[in-house]
Structure 1
Amino acid sequence: MKLFRSTAVVLALTTGLLALQAQADVAQQNTSGDPAYTVEAPKAYSMIGDLVIARPLLIGATIIGAAAFVVSLPFTALGGNVGEAGQALVVEPGREAFVRCLGCTTSGYQQN
């Protein structure tokens, strides 16, 4: 009986995930007229993937980059490129993790 229930649950979840794309295509029609939403309107499955996979990895990259920046700080100070190291190791992954909209491919806010 447990095998039947678990198979039914897996089948129901798989069917639900496959239906997300069709449901997202219907919901993606922008009727607000706001140009911020017409520039890039991500689909639901890209938002879920971004939330579950990309954001935790980017937050981890920001933390690891901050630690690497602190460790490399004496060397970058001697080389005179502290700003570039901070930008590459901390700011860029942090911007992608916290400023980019969910499911979007471009970071920051679009200003027209």
Structure 2
Amino acid sequence: MKTLPRLLIAIMFLFGSVTPAVAGEPDPTLPSDPGAMMTADLALARPVGAVATVTGFALFLVSSPFSLLGGNADEAWEQLVVAPASYTFKRPLGHFEQPERESTNRPDAGR
């Protein structure tokens, strides 16, 4: 029975250290079969993203007093909850690219 908790800890550590890659050129080493990409997305990426969203929400609740004192509660909410939720629930099935975000820090934003 000691192996089950160790296995769960190893799986949580593995999935906790995985971060989505920044969108760029499509990786030629990835399979191009849309069915395989959709299956991998549905079986792996979506459940991990849902766990990341719930974990981010819990972390936001813990850090919210400090974020409010620091004046960056909106940024904390965006990074800890909205970003994983968008990656999990707004992305088309099988598409692992990050959607483009609107940024107000662009040089041409005020034109």
Query: TM bucket by the smaller chain?
Result: 0.5 to 0.7
Q: Given the alignment of the two structures, is residue 101 of structure 1 paired with residue 56 of structure 2, yes or no?
A: no
4+ residue stretches of structure 1 with deviation over 2 A?
105-108
CA–CA distance in 2 between the matches of 1:49 and 1:91?
A: 22
Q: Given the alignment of the two structures, is residue 61 of structure 1 paired with residue 59 of structure 2, yes or no?
A: no
- 1:28-78: CA deviation from partner (whole Å, max 9, x where unpaired): xxxxxxxxxxxxx97110100000000000000000000000110000000
TM alignment of 1:1-112, pairs within 5 A: 43-107=34-98
Report the AA paired with residue 56 of structure 1. P
Aligned length: 69
CA contact (8 A) 1:66 1:90 kept: yes
Unaligned runs of 5+ in 2: 1-31, 100-111
TM-score w.r.t. the length of structure 2 is 0.58
Structure with higher RCO (Cα < 8 A, 6+ apart): 2
CA–CA distance in 1 between the matches of 2:77 and 2:96?
A: 22
Q: Please state which structure has a larger fraction of its residues in helix.
A: 1
TM-score w.r.t. the length of structure 1 is 0.57
Report the AA paired with residue 46 of structure 1. M
Unaligned runs of 5+ in 1: 1-40
Question: How far 1:104 sits from its partner (Å)?
Answer: 0.5
Percent identical pairs in the alignment equals: 43
